[in-house]
Amino acid sequence: MFPVLKLEHEEWAGERMDFRLKAFGQAVTGHLLVGDKEVRIEVTLPWLLQKFADAVRESITLRTEVLLGRK
């Protein structure tokens, strides 16, 4: 979805996935937790990418809604 992102690592343990990716040459880490009624995504952005946090949040939310058939 974002041509500047490259997934470098993902590891599942039960309902949790830890991941690491590169965005604009910067390392981004995070994890997601899959629950019965929600998915929680936490991402740690380096300071150079923090100004994009709102745009990333909106994009993830919209894409998730589409995948779940809500939009």
Map out the domains of the chain as residue ranges.
Answer: 5-67
Residue 55 DSSP class: H
The amino acid occupying position 7 is L
Is pLDDT at 20 greater than 90 in this prediction?
yes
pLDDT in tens, 22-40: 888 889 999 999 999 888 9
| CB hemisphere CA count around 51 (13 angstroms) | 2
pLDDT in tens, 40-62: 999 898 888 888 888 888 888 88
Q: How confident is the model at residue 8 (pLDDT cuts 50, 70, 90)?
A: very high
The amino acid occupying position 62 is L
